[in-house]
Amino acid sequence: MRLTVRTLLAWLDHVLPSDEHGELDAKVAGSAAAHQLVDRIRRVVKQPTISPPRLDGRGLAADPNSVAEYLDNCLEHDRLEAFERICIESDAHLAEVAACHEILATLSRDPAATAPLDAAGRRRLLEAMRHHSAAVSTDDEHHEQVGGARQTSATREAAPTQPYGGAPPRRRSARSAWGAAAAAVALLVALGLLLTEAIGRSRGVQRDAPAPPAVTGDHPPIVAAPAHEPLGAAMENGQSGQTVEPGPTVVESPPDTVALVPAEPPEPEAAAPKPEPAAVAAVPPASVGPQPSVPQGDALAIAAAPAAAPAAAPPSVPPAPPQESAAPPGGEAALGFVTGEGLLIHRDTDQGHAAWAALMPGASLGPREELIAPFGFQPDLNVRGVAIRLLQGTRATITADADGTPRVEVVFGRAVVRSARPDARVGVTASGLTGTIMAGLAGPAAISVDLDRVPGTDPTTEAARVRASVIAVDGGIVWKQGGVAADGSPRLLDGIAAEGMLDARTSITWESVAPDGGRVVQLDALPAWVVAAPQIDKLQRNAAEALGARIRDTGSLEQSLRELADDRRVENRVLAAATLALFGDFDAAVELLCTEAPGRRLEQRQWATLEAATVPLALARGAKAAARLRTAFEDRGPHGKAEELFAMARGFSDAELAAGAAETLVAALDDPDLVVRRYAIKCLCDIVQPSAADRLRYRADGLPDPRREGASWWRGQLQKGLIRRPGAA
């Protein structure tokens, strides 16, 4: 049985046969996406601020007839997936479908709820209606007597005359009208009370899934040195997640970027070769599975196992044995499979050379997979019973340890891991932070690898500063260090113990400026990307769908990206160029940043989005990536401006600003090339941090006269010696 919105609702409301209900129990337990959707359904149904859809709504999910057909399992096959996709994306539509499904399920289980009243019940209801009607009629007569004198003459003049000899029309008395209204109100109140009681019983008893348990056992909080003591030489002050001693500042992505813009540590020279023609990985057909009692058609799958064989039930004790799935090419055992809707990209080596290829939902994972979550997608993986979500723009490697424990290595970006099994564990490698989460994955846990690059440093010779964190979200986790030194001996970080409990809302942090130690940081609040996956805007989602459709048509990832990078729609070009940059190919991104051709030039916000998603990461990935970016500026940028553009892209130190870089930036505001002006104003704003009003004084793509006025204001700031960072001498 496939895990869709409809089968999930049937599972929640307990209308499935016992065997199918048990099958969905296992699927929900192994799917992070299903867990999130279950929590969301419970939240939106109880949320009073959600407005109900209009009764006269039009469109697939807004039309009441479509909702009725969906609940009655008779919606056409070609409309079913689109309907469920709308419900997943819209709280209002999801709440309507879930609430209606719950009411129908409750009524189907309790025939007495719709049974007609017996004679005694009817008499009691009629007697109550008569008493209520008499009270209302008395009040009505009193108001008529008070106000009758004011309106008698007007009423008589306005009343139509009756023909002589005709019988006057029969009029309903006020008492009978109020009686009918009271009867309707009483019936509605009785039905509402009955349904509320039934729904409360079903919500409170039948639908409650166990909450993520807090990790307990022989793992008290630990300090450095002896195992099983507080994890952290001293718990550090958690104001805004920072420690008392100063550390490097992590550069956060602008709010309007395409995706997260972390950077990776310097890669080995052979780690990022120029992409060659990519071959699409063999994708098994979508799993049909046994037909449940509720489905019709092929609904939108929340998490489907590979077609070759359904996923094996999770084992009872670790290490977890391999999940059964379609075997990867070459006869090697599958490590797991791709779930959910997200497109995933992996390095394919079956053709004798490394090339990036697409992995569609349902595809199995080999014993070692180098993966990239492209922009516009947030794919989910099921690796031996552990659900792993890679946020867009993340590069990671999935393997298994010698004892079978799955391991995720985040090269750059962010990931969330969880499992419904209380005995599940997962290995984590995040730059210099290596270990195993031994318990607490129901929490879940989050992993991030970010970079803080000092402006003005040469990326071809100086390594960036890396910051890696493992965050316990709910309930806490048990962390066991597992690093290995160069001589093969165990490598334990100073400041934290070999194994111990990490409380909820606490992180272990490692920084490359102090590679031999780690810190435990108490967080005042969880990062937003941990609480909920970042929302993908509509344009970016459309571009992602266009990329997926083109890959299915052409069968080639690289060809699809090249074609999309030249598409007429700007969102398609931006997504394709940003995704190619993840592979180390910066030509499309630089060309798009520099072009001034009519119909292809980016607006300022689009330009800033693409630049933030590609250039900082390119400068952080090591000497080879930075050299390729510089070559792209030479080949695709304006003639003779590559050196200037590369210098502005890497930024300027305080010493360089004092030595004349400030004058160069202000002079570049009058440059004839748009990309030079854009980089100049970006650098000036990054350095000075002006107010919002002062930022609007100059627009690189504005008309000449306003541009000259803005440049003149910046020259005034230069003459006053104000082109410097806040606090700089």
The answer, as to whether pTM is greater than 0.75, is no
Amino acid at position 200, single letter: G
Mean pLDDT of 504-523: 92
The span from the CA of 459 to the CA of 619, in Å, is 6
Q: Identify the CA nearest to 408 among candidates 421, 453, 391, 423.
A: 391
Cβ pair 352, 368 in contact under 8 A: no
Domain ranges of the chain: 1-144+173-210+299-304, 325-536, 538-719
pLDDT score at 31: 81
User: Could you give the CA distance from residue 87 to residue 9 in angstroms, rounded to a whole number?
Assistant: 12
Best-predicted range by mean pLDDT (14-18, 185-189, 342-346, 436-440): 436-440
Residue 393 has pLDDT above 80, yes or no: yes
- pLDDT of 638 strictly over 90: yes
Instruction: Provide the pLDDT confidence category of residue 537 given band limits of 50, 70 and 90.
Output: confident
Task: Return the structure tokens found at 353.
Answer: 């050379």
Q: What is the pLDDT of residue 354?
A: 72
Q: Are 566 and 587 in contact (CB under 8 A)?
A: no
Residue 535 has pLDDT above 50, yes or no: yes
Eight-state DSSP code of residue 317: S
Neighbours of 243 (CB within 10 A): 18
**123-173 confidence digits (pLDDT tens):** 777 777 776 665 545 444 444 444 444 444 444 444 444 443 344 444 555
165-169, 341-345, 371-375, 531-535: the lowest-pLDDT one: 165-169
Kindly report the average pLDDT of the chain as a whole number: 76
Position 168 scores a pLDDT of 45
Residue 221 pLDDT class (50, 70, 90 cuts) = low
User: Does residue 630 carry a pLDDT above 90?
Assistant: yes
**Predicted pLDDT of residue 361:** 84
One-letter identity of residue 41: I
d(CA 615, CA 586): 9
Does residue 696 register a pLDDT over 60?
A: yes
pLDDT-based confidence at 486, cuts 50/70/90? Answer: low
How much is the average pLDDT of 448-465?
88
Q: Determine the average pLDDT of the residues in 698-712.
A: 94
Cis, peptide link before residue 248, omega less than 30° from 0: no
Residue predicted with more confidence, 726 or 680 = 680
- DSSP-derived secondary structure for 347-398: EE-TTSS-EEEEE-TT-EE-SSEEEEE-TT---EEEETTEEEEEPTTEEEEE
Where does the pLDDT of residue 310 fall: very low under 50, low under 70, confident under 90, or very high at 90 and above?
Answer: very low
What would the mean pLDDT of 237-242 be, rounded to a whole number?
A: 38
Token pair 């999770």 is found at 314
The residues near 205 (Cβ < 8 Å, ≥ 6 apart) are none
Specify the higher pLDDT residue, 258 or 494.
494
More confident residue, 95 or 172: 95
- Is residue 99 predicted with pLDDT exceeding 70? yes
- Which of these, 89, 20, 41, lies nearest to 61 by C-alpha position? 89
pLDDT of residue 378: 86
What gap in Å lies between CA 430 and CA 527, rounded to an integer?
17
What is the DSSP pairing of strand 394-400 with strand 406-418?
Answer: antiparallel
Dist. CA 291–CA 293, nearest whole Å: 7
Give per-residue pLDDT as tens, 554-603: 888 889 999 999 999 999 999 999 999 998 999 999 999 999 998 889 99
Q: What is the pLDDT of residue 143?
A: 47
Instruction: Answer yes or no: is pLDDT of 395 > 80.
Output: yes
pLDDT band at 488 (very low <50, low <70, confident <90, very high): low
DSSP secondary-structure letter at 4? B
Per-residue pLDDT at 179: 74
- 226 band by pLDDT with thresholds 50, 70 and 90: very low
What integer is the mean pLDDT of 197-221?
53
Distance CA 366, CA 529 (A): 28
76-85 pLDDT, tens per residue?
A: 877 888 888 8
From CA 651, how far away is CA 637, in angstroms rounded?
A: 18
% of the chain with per-residue pLDDT over 70: 71
Residue 389 is classified by DSSP as E
DSSP string for 219-248: --B--SSSSSS-SSSSPBP-GGG--SS--P
Dmax over Cα atoms in the chain, in whole Å? 118
CA gap 573, 554 in Å, rounded: 17
Residue scoring higher pLDDT (287 or 720)? 720
Phi then psi for 501, rounded to 5 degrees?
-90, 130
Beta bridge partner(s), residue 426: 437
* Alpha carbon distance 709, 705 (integer Å): 6
CA angle 687, 693, 694 (to 5 degrees): 40
Is residue 295 scored above 90 in pLDDT?
Answer: no
The 10s digit of each residue's pLDDT in 249-291 is 333 333 333 333 333 344 443 333 434 433 333 333 333 333 3
The token pair that represents 143 in the structure block: 């108001």
Is residue 322 pLDDT above 70, yes or no?
no
Residue 413: pLDDT band with limits 50, 70, 90? very high
